């Protein structure tokens, strides 16, 4: 495969643009019979917050993930009050807490997960060739992932930081028309149901970074429906080296762990990372990967679509994560994805570089077998900039009864500041 073809496929994952500024669904309905519970998930021994833990109502298609501080809020109809909430995290035993226990407390619960005991007996996990294991997992997609269309509701957030300061923040509740995981692999249709965003112009000087195609990119890193890390899975041995790692437990199920990296002699920019495979079903449950951009000047052209003359940029890292969860019907579905990209920019004749970090995340909060097409005029395109398709941060109760990823304290501070600024502007 030629280098240009490889870069073209990889560049679908994430595109950003830099411009010079001229100046320095179906879902829970808002109703009285909706309940919500909150909690913080921590390690039982270290009390460390469990970031991106999966939180769901057992046997019900309502879920969310914890934020960077291990905190979550989950909203649901009152008639589910007799059910339990399941909390799972990679390498830990699943916690199951009755909803009634949450409702009996005034303050959010602290849920301590216990690390799963390893090693696992060799009778449970037998030695396998890691490359063959990955190929078998991809061959098993048809058995493990939906072969019919599904409708999903999700929450999307993207943030751009200049140094340690947030300069743009966008959030949206989205509708996703998810095609089958079949050999044709049709493209998802996604629309914004409601969203909000803001630009902090006071913290932008001469460079205004825009994140193009963020929502679509969050879906495109669903590796199960796309090429394996930019190549056809039948040809992975030409591009990647694989290695078996120690198995791990998640959701009380054992997972194979296979690490991979591109072959050292390849000039193409590929990936390194880990893939987690459920031992029982051979389903892919999670993939963590980085694009090998370090010390590669040509990586900048993959990400930065447009920049002004006199501005030099360099990508420092590009990290991705996508995880799946098993639904009561036994199949696995796309659950959560996250992208973190850092680059620096420097003007000619300027002494210092400025660092920029782009973070985006998407969590699927509900799903249904009753799929419907999203109107063409409402669909999000790969060229769309989310910030330009959403409203201002004006209403503190904007999300009503929709499930969203709780903002971390630093983001919550930004949101509060934005709302205060907008209120002053309206006076």
Q: Look up the pTM and report it.
A: 0.82
Average pLDDT for residues 4-8, to the nearest whole number?
47
pLDDT tens, 203-239?
666 667 778 888 888 998 898 887 777 778 888 889 9
What's the pLDDT at 32?
A: 61
Average pLDDT for residues 148-161, to the nearest whole number?
91
Domain boundary among 64, 81, 113: 113
Gap between the Cα atoms of 285 and 283, Å rounded: 6
Q: Indicate if the pLDDT at residue 131 is higher than 90.
A: yes
Judgement on whether residues 75 and 155 belong to the same structural domain of the protein: no
Judgement on whether residues 198 and 277 belong to the same structural domain of the protein: yes
Judgement on whether residues 196 and 91 belong to the same structural domain of the protein: no
Judgement on whether residues 208 and 333 belong to the same structural domain of the protein: yes
Contacts 24+ apart (CB under 8 A), 285-288: 285/250, 285/255, 285/323, 285/324, 285/325, 285/332, 286/90, 286/250, 286/255, 286/321, 286/322, 286/323, 286/324, 287/223, 287/320, 287/321, 287/322, 287/323, 288/319, 288/320, 288/321
What's the pLDDT at 205?
A: 64
Judgement on whether residues 77 and 132 belong to the same structural domain of the protein: no
What's the pLDDT at 211?
A: 83
Q: Indicate if the pLDDT at residue 95 is higher than 50.
A: yes
Judgement on whether residues 72 and 152 belong to the same structural domain of the protein: no
Kindly state the percentage of the chain with pLDDT values over 90.
38
Provide the domain count of the chain: 2
Judgement on whether residues 281 and 177 belong to the same structural domain of the protein: yes
Domain boundary among 113, 145, 168: 113
What are the structure tokens assigned to 208, written together?
């205004």
Nearest C-alpha neighbor of 398 from the set 195, 159, 157, 192:
195
What's the pLDDT at 37?
A: 93
What are the structure tokens assigned to 215, written together?
């929502």
Judgement on whether residues 276 and 327 belong to the same structural domain of the protein: yes
Judgement on whether residues 78 and 139 belong to the same structural domain of the protein: no
Q: 243 falls in which pLDDT band (50, 70, 90)?
A: very high
What's the pLDDT at 24?
A: 33
Judgement on whether residues 51 and 72 belong to the same structural domain of the protein: yes
Q: Whole domain around residue 92: which residue ranges?
A: 34-113
Judgement on whether residues 75 and 189 belong to the same structural domain of the protein: no
pLDDT tens, 49-77?
999 899 999 888 899 999 989 999 999 99
Judgement on whether residues 66 and 163 belong to the same structural domain of the protein: no
Domain boundary among 61, 95, 113: 113
What's the pLDDT at 16?
A: 45
Kindly report the CATH number assigned to the domain that includes residue 91.
2.60.40.1120
Question: Which residues are CB-neighbours of 387 under 8 A, at least 6 positions away?
Answer: 168, 170, 197, 199, 210, 211
Gap between the Cα atoms of 380 and 382, Å rounded: 7
pLDDT: is 320 or 116 the higher one?
320
pLDDT tens, 187-200?
888 998 888 888 77
What integer best gives the mean pLDDT of the chain? 82
CA atoms within 13 A on the CB side of 148: 7
Question: Which residues are CB-neighbours of 218 under 8 A, at least 6 positions away?
Answer: 156, 337, 339, 360, 361, 362
* Contact of 171 with 155, CB cutoff 8 Å: yes
User: Cα torsion for 347, 348, 350, 352, to the nearest 10°?
Assistant: 60
């Amino acid at each position: 495969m030629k280098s240009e073809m490889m870069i073209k496929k990889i560049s679908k994952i994430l595109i950003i643009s830099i411009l010079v500024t001229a100046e320095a669904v179906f879902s829970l309905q808002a109703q009285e019979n909706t309940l919500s519970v909150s909690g913080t998930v921590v390690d039982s021994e270290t009390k460390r917050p469990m970031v991106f833990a999966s939180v769901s109502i057992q046997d019900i298609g309502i879920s969310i993930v914890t934020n960077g501080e291990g905190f979550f809020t989950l909203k649901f109809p009152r008639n589910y009050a007799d059910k339990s909430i399941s909390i799972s995290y990679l390498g830990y035993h699943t916690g199951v807490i009755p909803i009634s226990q949450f409702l009996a407390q005034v303050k959010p619960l602290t849920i301590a997960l216990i690390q799963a005991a390893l090693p696992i007996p060799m009778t449970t996990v037998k030695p396998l060739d890691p490359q063959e294991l990955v190929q078998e997992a991809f061959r098993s997609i048809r058995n493990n992932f939906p072969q019919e269309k599904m409708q999903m509701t999700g929450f999307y957030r993207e943030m751009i930081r200049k140094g340690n300061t947030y300069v743009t923040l966008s959030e949206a509740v989205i509708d996703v028309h998810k095609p089958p995981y079949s050999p044709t692999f049709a493209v998802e249709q996604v629309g914004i149901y409601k969203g909000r965003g803001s630009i902090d112009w006071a913290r932008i000087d001469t460079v205004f970074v825009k994140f193009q195609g963020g929502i679509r990119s969050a879906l495109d890193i669903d590796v199960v429906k796309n090429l394996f890390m930019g190549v056809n899975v039948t040809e992975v041995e030409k591009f990647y080296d694989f290695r078996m790692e120690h198995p791990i437990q998640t959701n009380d199920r054992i997972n194979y762990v296979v690490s991979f990296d591109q072959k050292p002699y390849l000039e193409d920019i590929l990936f390194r990372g880990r893939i987690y495979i459920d031992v029982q079903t051979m389903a892919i449950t999670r993939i963590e990967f980085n694009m090998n951009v370090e010390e590669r000047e040509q990586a900048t052209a993959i990400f930065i679509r447009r920049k002004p003359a006199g501005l030099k940029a360099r990508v420092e890292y590009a990290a991705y994560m996508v995880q799946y969860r098993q639904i009561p019907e036994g199949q696995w579905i796309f659950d959560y994805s996250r992208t973190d990209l850092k680059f620096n920019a420097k003007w000619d004749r300027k002494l210092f570089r400025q660092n920029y970090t782009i973070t985006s995340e998407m969590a699927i909060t509900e799903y249904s077998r009753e799929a419907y097409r999203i109107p063409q005029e409402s669909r999000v395109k790969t060229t769309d900039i989310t910030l330009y398709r959403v409203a201002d941060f004006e209403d503190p109760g904007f999300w009503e009864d929709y499930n969203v990823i709780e903002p971390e304290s630093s983001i919550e501070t930004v949101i509060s500041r934005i709302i205060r600024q907008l209120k002053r502007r309206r006076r």
